Structure 1
Amino acid sequence: MAFILTFLGKGGTGRTTIAIAAAKKFVSQGQRVLLVSQDSSPAFGLVLGAAVGADPQEVSPNLHAVQLHTSTLLERSWDEVKKLEAQYLRTPFFKEVFGQELGVMPGMDSAIALNALREFDASSKYDVIVYDGLGNQDTLRMLGMPEILGWYIRRFRQVFADSDLGKTLSPFIQPVAGAVLNNANFAGDNFAQPTGQVNDLLGQGQQAVNNPKRMAAYLVTTDDPAAIATAQYLWGSAQQIGLTIGGVIANQASSNLNETFNPLSVTVIPSLPVQDWQPLIDVLPNFENADQAPRAMAVSVVDRKVSLFLPGFDKKQVKLSQNGPEITIEAGDQRRNVSLPPELRGQPVRGAKFQDGYLIISF
């Protein structure tokens, strides 16, 4: 398993330059590194100083790089879908549709990029994966996808199973599925087998995002007030998906940003010579210390409290609701469904307060 690092911030703050320098820093520490770019244009290769393609290739000792080409990855994924269909269905109906025909729909980029990162991680070829994505809410929604999809499966599966339609159809699912899927056995919960493997995969993805030793992000900003405000907003939004923000990299910033981003550490990057990577590498923080930053959520069963760290938001921007077995936190443009431990699950919320960037919920 690799350590996955990404950078968040407003466009033009130098995220790509920082990502390349970070990859080179890990290489200098003896790590096997894959640098992944969401940008499929020639600009990435020009900044890196090497030709980069749609497949990982070594650009220097221990440093591989790849540009994610959505259409290429979509074609490969479609071929895998057709193989699975041919394996499990007696009469495949996707066989007449070819990957070369498929166009890229909105939202596909994020899902395909996330799957590519999963496959790179699962290959065990790399110790570190540095992901140079869009660095905005789209990146956070992509990384939060395992948790959100897991919630949809949990909630809608149970809603359907409890409905009159679900109870009516349930006795027929086993024989129909057995006939279509070559006598596959869905004994027990008729809905568990088809979703079990998907839930396991999503659970692994969610655990990786929530573990700062497996995945972390750093904010990149300049002195520009809009860049600072964007970094603050992305900080709080990252906490909403459980992604740890390890620190702040202030690119050519002259003002003191320590108070603005307290308690995060702020590393100031001075103006450095073009294409001279070593001075930049030398001043970068130790990215593996990200686990020392405030965690997104803390649960105390003894005190019957849940604390969520939501920096960058004020009381008016945070909304708490409890409409199902989980509590829902809305902050900014994101919602998070918090799965509670068994001791607190199903218990009504007795109080909530917003204090020093923390939403503290009592049960």
Structure 2
Amino acid sequence: MASHSTLLLLSSSLNPLIPKPTTTTTTRSRTRPLLIMATSGDSIPAQNKPPKLVTFIGKGGSGKTTASVLASRYYASEGLRTCLVVHSQDPTAENLMGCSFQTTPTQCGTNTNLFAVKLETTKMLLEPLDRLKKVDARLNLTQGILEKIVGEELGVLPGMDSFAPVLALQNLINLFSEQKGSSEKEYDVVVFDGMSSEETLRLIGATERARSYLKYVKDLAEKTDIGRLTSPSIIKLVYDSVRMHGRTSEGKTSSEIWTEIEGLIEKTSLWLTNPRNFGCYIVMDLTQPASVSAALRYWGCAIQAGIHVSAAFGFLPQVSPVEKEASEKFSPLPFSILPLDSSVSSFTTSAKELLKCSPKCKYSYVTFDPKEKTVTLFMPGFDKSEIKLFQYRGGLELLVEAGDQRRIIKLPGDMQGKVAGAKFVDRNIIIKLR
């Protein structure tokens, strides 16, 4: 059984010998990570296109769906083929767009670049089941049991709603295509409006979490008697049903399939951490303090899930000191106001700039100081009592628990060691290593 260090409840008074974090740039009295912002004109040149996948997170009722509609309209107005994907029965998006959504992408209004689709899990279950039946008919693993299942009789179980968008988004953004400039590419931007911020964070952060599960499942498959007996057939059934890269398992060994799955997870993880591909935005209603507070928490949760947040947006009916206060609270995150009238013409220049999400708008939430042997983690939205630290596998890594998320921080070779202490200073955890 793996041993772990004693749980550390962070305290600003713990280990006063730990120095305060140092940064390259300080713009206000607070200490912040380095922020580099890109500037350009109002148009979107080919080399500075927005990310392929865009989503918004925040408190329910804070304007996630409104922001998704606004972003979709803006991208389409810039000549980019855009698809708004809504995973909810809430008709708000349809009312704002002025058109009825179907379960397949359909054009909205007169703009030939603007499309929308509504995901319904009950219907989306049928395609994977049909694939399973076809593969099973060829491999004869269930001896006809799968063929007897009537997909239309099956209801949606808890957890299925989280899995359903994966296949839909893959079809729209063509993530697993190995051909650059593939003719299958249909949309320049896909805007995803999920069922809730929690579900979206789980979905986007799933690849990082999947590595641990895959490791243990692979060990069970290769190192146990029942695994060696059953896993070759099961893994081929799943692989052929998903059809990664459009391939089949014919001629592949189980080891080759495992290696390909591991490579797919790695590729997806790298894809999502590239701001050219994925943009995650925080959204809030600045007239509601609870919305602003929740947005701060979701920012911290996104960091915990391994997601790079591109910017924060606030809805505000008129110019108010609240805007400046919110901007300071969310620093170093770029911040801008979104119009309440759902009109692209009301967009500010700064809002347009942030939606372009230039790859230069990136900064690190984790900094290492080998000289002082300290690790500084930026954790907005959390109180020190909500953050816990663990160490497993000796001193190779740190495990940070906060906001119902766990994050593993790999330590550089010259900094590996046990935790000597930690303290919380102005939204930062400063961890001292022995």
TM-score by length of 1: 0.83
Deviations 1:54-89 (A, max 9, x none): 011222311221111111111112112223333444
Q: Which residue of 1 aligns with 2:427?
A: 357
- Residue 347 (structure 1) shift: 5.0
Q: Which residue of 2 aligns with 1:220?
A: 283
Q: Which residue of 2 aligns with 1:246?
A: 310
Instruction: Output the CA distance in 2 between the equivalents of 1:92 and 1:338.
Output: 47
Q: Which residue of 2 aligns with 1:154?
A: 215
- Residue 345 (structure 1) shift: 9.9
Gaps of 5+ in 1: none
Q: Which amino acid aligns with 2:267?
A: Q
- Residue 186 (structure 1) shift: 7.8
Determine if the alignment matches structure 1 residue 72 to structure 2 residue 123. Answer: yes
Q: Is the 8 A contact 1:7 1:220 kept in 2?
A: yes
Q: Which residue of 1 aligns with 2:383?
A: 314
Partner of 2:401: helix, strand, or coil?
Answer: strand
- Residue 228 (structure 1) shift: 0.8
C-alpha change, 1:296 and 1:209, in structure 2 (3 Å) is: farther
Instruction: Output the CA distance in 1 between the equivalents of 2:250 and 2:356.
Output: 45
- Superposed, 1:45-84 pairs within 5 Å as 45-59=94-108, 60-84=111-135
Q: Is the 8 A contact 1:33 1:62 kept in 2?
A: yes
Q: Which residue of 2 aligns with 1:27?
A: 76
C-alpha change, 1:359 and 1:93, in structure 2 (3 Å) is: farther
Deviations 1:17-48 (A, max 9, x none): 21111112112222221111112344322211
Tell which deviates more after alignment, 60-69 or 226-235.
Answer: 60-69
Greater RCO (Cα-Cα under 8 Å, separation 6 or more): 2
Counterpart pick for 2:197 among 112, 132, 136: 136
Instruction: Output the CA distance in 1 between the equivalents of 2:258 and 2:199.
Output: 26
- Residue 238 (structure 1) shift: 0.3
C-alpha change, 1:211 and 1:89, in structure 2 (3 Å) is: farther
Q: Which residue of 1 aligns with 2:352?
A: 285
Tell which deviates more after alignment, 289-298 or 131-140.
Answer: 289-298
C-alpha change, 1:268 and 1:178, in structure 2 (3 Å) is: closer
Instruction: Output the CA distance in 2 between the equivalents of 1:226 and 1:180.
Output: 46
Instruction: Output the CA distance in 2 between the equivalents of 1:109 and 1:208.
Output: 23
Q: Which residue of 2 aligns with 1:107?
A: 159
Instruction: Output the CA distance in 2 between the equivalents of 1:214 and 1:240.
Output: 20
Q: Which amino acid aligns with 2:131?
A: E
Instruction: Output the CA distance in 1 between the equivalents of 2:282 and 2:235.
Output: 50
Deviations 1:82-123 (A, max 9, x none): 233334445454222132122111111111112211221114
User: What is the alpha-carbon root mean square deviation over aligned residues?
Assistant: 3.4
Counterpart pick for 1:38 among 42, 63, 87: 87
Instruction: Output the CA distance in 1 between the equivalents of 2:367 and 2:166.
Output: 27
Deviations 1:201-260 (A, max 9, x none): 322222222222211211111221110111000000000122111221110163131121
Gaps of 5+ in 2: 1-49, 175-183, 238-248
C-alpha change, 1:305 and 1:13, in structure 2 (3 Å) is: same
Instruction: Output the CA distance in 2 between the equivalents of 1:144 and 1:261.
Output: 22
Q: Is the 8 A contact 1:209 1:242 kept in 2?
A: no
Instruction: Output the CA distance in 2 between the equivalents of 1:215 and 1:348.
Output: 35
C-alpha change, 1:8 and 1:177, in structure 2 (3 Å) is: closer
Instruction: Output the CA distance in 2 between the equivalents of 1:119 and 1:224.
Output: 37
Instruction: Output the CA distance in 1 between the equivalents of 2:90 and 2:51.
Output: 26
Q: Which residue of 2 aligns with 1:337?
A: 408
Identity %: 29
How many residues are matched? 351
TM-score by length of 2: 0.71
Q: Is the 8 A contact 1:246 1:290 kept in 2?
A: no
Q: Which residue of 1 aligns with 2:260?
A: 197
Instruction: Output the CA distance in 2 between the equivalents of 1:144 and 1:137.
Output: 11
C-alpha change, 1:276 and 1:339, in structure 2 (3 Å) is: same
Partner of 1:249: helix, strand, or coil?
Answer: strand
